[in-house]
C-alpha cells in the first residue's frame, strides 16, 4: 500500500510538471492551470481516472458555453459570475458531472479576468483542460499490479477462517468459547475490508476485461464471516450428549482442514446431509431442555450448510476446481 501511495505521488508530480511544460509549449495562457488539473485528475485506478477526466471535459464545455453567453449579455463582473454558478451547478448535478464544477469554474474566471470571450480565450481554456486531463489519463495507463497482494490477503482470510472453525470444534467439545476467538474474528474483519478494497481497485484497473473474480470472492467470504459470527452465538446454548458433540466437532474440523479457495464444498455438503439424516433418526427429545438443545444443534448445522452452499455457488460460477 505504501508503495502504491509513493508511486501515485511521483506520478502526480511528474504529470503536473509535464502538463505545464506542454501547455507552455502550445502557447497557452495560465499554463499552470493545466498542472493543477492533472493533480486533481490522477486517481488510484484507470476507470476512475478516465471517468473523472471525461466528466471534467464535459463540464468545461458546458461552463464555457454558459459563461460566454452571460458575459456577452451582462458584462464581466462578479454578479454575472455568481449568476453563472447559479445556472451551471444545478445543470452539472442533473447531468451527474459535478466533479468538474470547481475546475471548470476556475477556467471561467480566466475569461472574467481577461474580460473576453473571444475564440482565442475559449480555445485556451478548453485546451488547458484537455492537456491536464489528458496527461492524467496517460499516466494512469500503467498501474502496478496488485494481484499478488490480493492473493496474500486471500490466504490470510482463509487461514483465519480455518482457525475459527478449529476453535469452534474445540468449543463444541469443551462446552466453552476460546478466549482467542474474539481476536480472530476482529482480525478477520480487518482482512476482509482490506481484501474488498484491493479487489475493487484491481477491478477498476481493467477497462475492457471485466475481472470480477476477486470482488465476488471477497463478497462470498464476507457473507461466510457473518455466518460464522452467527454460528458462534449458538455455543452458549449447547448441552448435547458427547456422541452428538463429537460428530459435529469432527465434521467442523474436517471443514476447517478442507477450507480453501479451490475446494468446491460439494463433498462436504454430502457428508453434512448424511449427519443430519443420522440425527433425524435418533430418539426424539424427552424434555424441553433436550428439545431446545436439539433445535440449536440443527440450527448450527443449517448455518454450516449455508456457509458451504455459498462456496459451492461461487465455485460453480467461476468453475473453480
pLDDT tens for each residue of 35-90: 999 888 877 677 777 778 888 889 999 999 999 999 999 999 999 999 999 999 99
Contact 135, 22 (CB under 8 A): yes
- What is the rounded CA–CA span in Å between residue 135 and residue 121? 21
pLDDT tens for each residue of 106-121: 999 999 999 999 999 9
Q: Which three cell numbers stand for residue 194?
A: 482490506
Q: Which fold has domain 147-318?
A: 1.20.120
- What is the rounded CA–CA span in Å between residue 38 and residue 130? 10
> Greater confidence, 256 or 8?
256
- Can you tell me whether residue 92 is helix, strand or coil? helix
> Greater confidence, 264 or 25?
25
pTM score, two decimals? 0.63
Across the chain, what does the average pLDDT equal?
84
pLDDT tens for each residue of 214-227: 888 899 999 999 99
pLDDT of res. 67: 95
Query: Does residue 233 carry a pLDDT above 90?
Result: no
Rg of the chain, C-alpha, whole Å? 30
Task: Report the run of H or E that residue 85 belongs to, with start and end.
Answer: helix 78-95
- What is the rounded CA–CA span in Å between residue 317 and residue 133? 38
Contact 196, 218 (CB under 8 A): yes
Contact 256, 169 (CB under 8 A): yes
pLDDT of res. 5: 54
Domain with CATH 1.20.120.940 in the chain: 147-318
pLDDT tens for each residue of 152-161: 899 899 999 9
Contact 184, 203 (CB under 8 A): no
- Can you tell me whether residue 27 is helix, strand or coil? coil
Amino acid at each position: 500500500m505504501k508503495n502504491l501511495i509513493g508511486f501515485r505521488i511521483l506520478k502526480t508530480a511528474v504529470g503536473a510538471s509535464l502538463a505545464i511544460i506542454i501547455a507552455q509549449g502550445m502557447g497557452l495562457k495560465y499554463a499552470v492551470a493545466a498542472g493543477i488539473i492533472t493533480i486533481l485528475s490522477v486517481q488510484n485506478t484507470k476507470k476512475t481516472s478516465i471517468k473523472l477526466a471525461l466528466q471534467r471535459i464535459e463540464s468545461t464545455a458546458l461552463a464555457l458555453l454558459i459563461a460566454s453567453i452571460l458575459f456577452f449579455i451582462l458584462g464581466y463582473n462578479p454578479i454575472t459570475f455568481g449568476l453563472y454558478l447559479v445556472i451551471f451547478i444545478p445543470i452539472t448535478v442533473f447531468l451527474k458531472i459535478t466533479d468538474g464544477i470547481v475546475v471548470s469554474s476556475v477556467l471561467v474566471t480566466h475569461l472574467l479576468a481577461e474580460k473576453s470571450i473571444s475564440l482565442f480565450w475559449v480555445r485556451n481554456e478548453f485546451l488547458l483542460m484537455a492537456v491536464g486531463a489528458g496527461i492524467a489519463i496517460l499516466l494512469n495507463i500503467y498501474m502496478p499490479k496488485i494481484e499478488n497482494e490480493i492473493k496474500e490477503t486471500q490466504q490470510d482470510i482463509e487461514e483465519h477462517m480455518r482457525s475459527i472453525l478449529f476453535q469452534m470444534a474445540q468449543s463444541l467439545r469443551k462446552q466453552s468459547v476460546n478466549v482467542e476467538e474474539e481476536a480472530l474474528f476482529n482480525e478477520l474483519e480487518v482482512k476482509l475490508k482490506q481484501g474488498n478494497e484491493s479487489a475493487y481497485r484491481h477491478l477498476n484497473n481493467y477497462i475492457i476485461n471485466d475481472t470480477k473474480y476477486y470482488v465476488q470472492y471477497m463478497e462470498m467470504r464476507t457473507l461466510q464471516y457473518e455466518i460464522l459470527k452467527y454460528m458462534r452465538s449458538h455455543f452458549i446454548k449447547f448441552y448435547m450428549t458427547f456422541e452428538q458433540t463429537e460428530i459435529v466437532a469432527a465434521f467442523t474440523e474436517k471443514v476447517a482442514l478442507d477450507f480453501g479457495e479451490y475446494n468446491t464444498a460439494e463433498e462436504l455438503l454430502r457428508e453434512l446431509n448424511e449427519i443430519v439424516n443420522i440425527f433425524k433418526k435418533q430418539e426424539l427429545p424427552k424434555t424441553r431442555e433436550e428439545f431446545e438443545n436439539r433445535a440449536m444443534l440443527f440450527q448450527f448445522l443449517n448455518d454450516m450448510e449455508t456457509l458451504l452452499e455459498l462456496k459451492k455457488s461461487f465455485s460453480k460460477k467461476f468453475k473453480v476446481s
